[in-house]
Homo-oligomer: A and B are copies of this chain.
């Protein structure tokens, strides 16, 4: 028979899984601690470690991604292409993604050039991309020089920016144009 302690831990593990499953945004450790009933952060970390390890095993399609004290469930890289069409929402808004693509393709690139290509809204996109850690900016005369970050490479499962360029050989076929407007 299960001890009471085990039962309590099972309940907490279940609660953690339920919370991560439902949350639309990454959950901070302190938020998790609160949901579990004001438990210690050490205990939260312990539960997160166990969950992360468990999901890392083969047979799971979802992994626990942790970053800067926040945790979030994500589809494993190997499966995303096969199931992406099931989720109507993506976590980077389309216009921001377009600006990111232009930066990555021209990497590094000045903010001034980006704005020429993408219009004034690109200033806001750069801010959002910096906040997400996908782009960093360095002063460069009167404008900023934009680079993609290691987090960018990790996010897309790339080993280098060259690999990205290799992947995105620009298509020329007709039906690509339809796809773009999706």
Chain A at the B interface: mostly helix, strand, loop or mixed?
helix
Contact flag A58-B14 (CB < 8 Å), given A35-B82, A35-B83, A82-B35: yes
Interface of A toward B, CB cutoff 8 Å: 2, 7, 9-11, 13-19, 21-24, 27, 35, 58-62, 73, 75-76, 78-80, 82-84, 86-88
Copies of this chain present: 2
Find out whether the CB atom of B86 lies under 8 angstroms from the CB atom of A23.
Answer: yes
User: What would be 29 A-B contacts, judged by CB atoms less than 8 Å apart?
Assistant: A7-B58, A10-B59, A13-B59, A13-B60, A13-B61, A14-B59, A14-B60, A14-B79, A15-B61, A15-B79, A15-B83, A17-B60, A17-B62, A18-B61, A18-B62, A18-B75, A18-B76, A18-B82, A18-B83, A19-B61, A21-B62, A21-B73, A21-B75, A22-B83, A22-B84, A22-B87, A23-B86, A27-B86, A35-B83
